[in-house]
Amino acid sequence: MRLIRSLTFRPASLVFALLAALPGLSFAAEAATAHRPATMADVLAQSKPSDWMPLDPQNTVYVELSSGRVVIELAPRFAPHHVESIKALARAGYFDGLAIDRVQDNFVAQWGDPEHAKPIPTASTLAAEFVTSARDLPFTLLPDPDTYASLVGFSSDFPAARDAKTERAWLVHCYGMVGVGRDNDVDSGNGTEIYVVIGHSPRQLDRNVTVVGRVVQGMELLSSLPRGTGALGFYESRTERVPLKSVRVAADVPEAQRTSLEVMRTDTQSFTDLIEARRNRRDPWYKVPAGRIDICNVPLPVRAAPAAARK
Amino acid sequence: MRLIRSLTFRPASLVFALLAALPGLSFAAEAATAHRPATMADVLAQSKPSDWMPLDPQNTVYVELSSGRVVIELAPRFAPHHVESIKALARAGYFDGLAIDRVQDNFVAQWGDPEHAKPIPTASTLAAEFVTSARDLPFTLLPDPDTYASLVGFSSDFPAARDAKTERAWLVHCYGMVGVGRDNDVDSGNGTEIYVVIGHSPRQLDRNVTVVGRVVQGMELLSSLPRGTGALGFYESRTERVPLKSVRVAADVPEAQRTSLEVMRTDTQSFTDLIEARRNRRDPWYKVPAGRIDICNVPLPVRAAPAAARK
């Protein structure tokens, strides 16, 4: 059985050696160190201010529900035209008064214009942005094998995959990722209908949809919504729908009303330490450390920005 | 890059050839057929009555909430003593009036006796049942690589992993799986505290907890609960807790009040066809079939038992 094991449990050191010549890649969790922080709490406690970066208000969107605010970080590097479209729609007030009309258990929560009644102030369709060029893309590689892609890791603070042969990269559908609904035509999306993953990562969607960002705060406001009882989890009556009070680009919101957040940079030793602490959990509860981690199980730390960092 | 690709995307045919001598294994999705059903809907429509099996009322538990019934299928093959304990606790009325006191987003919903006030009518602790012998274990192998285990697949209708070297098998933490809370001591669980996975599969728990079954109906009643705002998702006030009206073994419930369900057998051609239909989605919406599937993304079909099958 040795051969099968070596196929499945590829030795990380071998992979690192083989990949070392690939440009644009950094490596997480590649070397054992004597004084590595043991747990995620240790990593966060020992992190430096430079390990963190503030969200860019120009690429952050606030979805205001009656239950609170959902904060979405947009990913213009991966979907520039869709991100621009969503910001234009938000700035035109397009989403205000629309509603979450679909919550399918273990899949997605989705909002848009269920009545198709509101005029769309932007392009009615956009060309698909399912994948992007991996050239010059910052990428911190996860050392563990993935079911769906040959290489997975993090680009800025987004989970992503890349293919060395085609030099393409794409965002992967982890919990909390945000994508753009479309019809059967790949170029039929425009950002007016948006979904958020609320269950086990539906990775079969990867490279089939334009992914535009991720929820960095407020996931529980979406994941705890009642599930729709109609086909595909659509709410069957209008009264079940969850109204969007407003959707705003953070930069357009008065500073005092913004949610000032920082995310951990993934190109740092602290993030590498965090991955290692989660690959091999070392708190007293865990008896069998996994020794590896799924891309969608790596936490991407978010914290309130220190007062000094706010502007 | 050829070597890396072959390590990651291990060719299914090679693995099948190498594994062919391993006893107790059957193989899903191993051969292309000309008239294979294209979609999951096709598979279900074309399935035969013999592809399905009724839930065993002696190993089915009903958790009654004010919002409805959660149906749990127990896995005595994997955790015989914990399953017996949970059934004994249910039959003693232990859970009745207790509550769901923890709902941690993207992790678990959990119930038990938050006040530690109710006398426990069974053994106060049980020896861990984290893994079991893989000998003579029915096992339908999934052909795709897994981040956490060398072999994954299905045993009866549970997602499971096995290790060919140690001849051990264990249930894996997919969405909807049910496990037994414990303290740091591995032998400190007894079935009085139970959790259900409500988010992305926390596979790091595999082989660290006794897994006792899975939710086959009613997941949305757990997954849509408000998240706890205390540490680890515990509710901070008693009024937030969600009472358990009762927990019953199905066999003890009058037949007219049972939920008669059938689950698809995983050792059938229909299930093999279903896996293939989900590995390569062929409805018009999908443009890039994944060509593989994560163990936790394989649906385990459940349906109302035909009237003739009910007794």
* B209-253: pLDDT as tens digits: 999 999 999 999 999 999 999 999 999 999 999 999 999 999 999
Question: What is the ipTM for the molecules in this complex?
Answer: 0.91
| Chain A residue numbers touching B173 (CB-CB < 8 A) | none
Per-position DSSP letters for A201-238, written without gaps between them: --GGGTTTSEEEEEEEE-HHHHHTSPPP-SGGGB-SSG
Per-position DSSP letters for A26-55, written without gaps between them: EESS-S--TT---SHHHHHHH--GGGEEE-
Chosen from B151, B205, B235, B297 to mutate, greatest number of chain A CBs within 10 A: B297
| Chain B residue numbers touching A186 (CB-CB < 8 A) | 287
Residue B36, pLDDT score: 79
Average of per-residue pLDDT across B136-147: 96
The shortest C-alpha distance from A290 to chain B (Å) reads 6
Residue A111, pLDDT score: 98
Take residue A230 and report the two structure tokens written for it. Answer: 């109609």
Residue A27, pLDDT score: 62
Alpha-helix residue ranges (DSSP H) falling in chain B: 2-8, 12-19, 40-46, 80-91, 219-223, 269-279
- Determine whether the interchain pair B15/A7 forms a contact, defined as Cβ–Cβ distance below 8 Å: yes
Residue B123, pLDDT score: 86
Average of per-residue pLDDT across B172-196: 95
Residue A36, pLDDT score: 79
pTM assigned to the model: 0.91
* Residue of B5, B164, B225 lying closest to A1 (CB–CB): B164
* Residue of B9, B165, B286 lying closest to A1 (CB–CB): B165
A-chain residue closest to B4, CA distance: A15
Burial A123-135 (b: 16+ CB within 10 A, else e): eebbebbbbbebe
At B63-105, the pLDDT tens digits run 999 999 999 999 999 999 999 999 999 999 999 999 999 999 9
Quote the percentage of chain A above a pLDDT of 90.
Answer: 83
Residue A181, pLDDT score: 96
Residue A38, pLDDT score: 86
Residue A105, pLDDT score: 98
A-chain residue closest to B184, CA distance: A285
The shortest C-alpha distance from A286 to chain B (Å) reads 6
Is a pLDDT exceeding 50 seen at residue A12?
no
- CB-CB neighbours of B35 under 10 Å: 7
Cα-based torsion angle of the residue sequence B33, B36, B38, B39 in order, rounded to the nearest 10 degrees: -130
Q: Are B174 and A200 in contact (CB under 8 A)?
A: yes
B-chain residue closest to A188, CA distance: B285
The shortest C-alpha distance from A31 to chain B (Å) reads 20
- Determine whether the interchain pair B176/A106 forms a contact, defined as Cβ–Cβ distance below 8 Å: yes
Residue B200, pLDDT score: 98
Is a pLDDT exceeding 90 seen at residue A168?
yes
The shortest C-alpha distance from A107 to chain B (Å) reads 10
- Residue B19: how many CA atoms within 13 Å on its side-chain side? 28
| Chain A residue numbers touching B201 (CB-CB < 8 A) | 200, 294, 297
| Chain A residue numbers touching B184 (CB-CB < 8 A) | 284-285
- H or E element: which one contains A179? strand A177-180
At A120-143, the pLDDT tens digits run 999 889 999 999 999 999 999 999
Q: Are A56 and A76 in contact (CB under 8 A)?
A: no
Is a pLDDT exceeding 90 seen at residue B7?
no
- Determine whether the interchain pair B223/A223 forms a contact, defined as Cβ–Cβ distance below 8 Å: yes
- Determine whether the interchain pair A288/B227 forms a contact, defined as Cβ–Cβ distance below 8 Å: no
The shortest C-alpha distance from A81 to chain B (Å) reads 20
Is a pLDDT exceeding 80 seen at residue A233?
yes
* Residue of B184, B227, B281 lying closest to A284 (CB–CB): B184
The C-alpha atoms of residue A218 and residue A302 are separated, in whole angstroms, by 12
pLDDT band at B151 (very low <50, low <70, confident <90, very high): very high
CB pairs under 8 A between A and B: 171
Residue B209, pLDDT score: 97
3-state secondary structure of A19: helix
State phi, psi for A210 to the nearest 5 degrees: -85, 115
A-chain residue closest to B18, CA distance: A4
Spell out the residues 6+ positions from residue A152 whose beta carbon is closer than 8 angstroms to its own. A141, A142, A146, A159, A160, A161, A162, A172, A295
* Residue of B18, B220, B288 lying closest to A105 (CB–CB): B220
At B94-134, the pLDDT tens digits run 999 999 999 999 999 999 999 999 999 998 899 999 999 99
- Determine whether the interchain pair A10/B7 forms a contact, defined as Cβ–Cβ distance below 8 Å: yes
pLDDT band at A53 (very low <50, low <70, confident <90, very high): very high
pLDDT band at B15 (very low <50, low <70, confident <90, very high): very low
Residue A4, pLDDT score: 27
A-chain residue closest to B199, CA distance: A199
- Determine whether the interchain pair A224/B224 forms a contact, defined as Cβ–Cβ distance below 8 Å: yes
Residue A28, pLDDT score: 62
Place of tokens 């705002």: B229
Residue A37, pLDDT score: 82
| Chain B residue numbers touching A4 (CB-CB < 8 A) | 15, 18-19, 150, 164
Is a pLDDT exceeding 70 seen at residue B141?
yes
| Chain B residue numbers touching A103 (CB-CB < 8 A) | 224
Place of tokens 């990269």: A169
Is a pLDDT exceeding 80 seen at residue A151?
yes
| Chain A residue numbers touching B148 (CB-CB < 8 A) | 290, 292, 294
- Determine whether the interchain pair A8/B146 forms a contact, defined as Cβ–Cβ distance below 8 Å: yes
- H or E element: which one contains A272? helix A269-279
Place of tokens 């479309």: A182
Length of chain A: 311
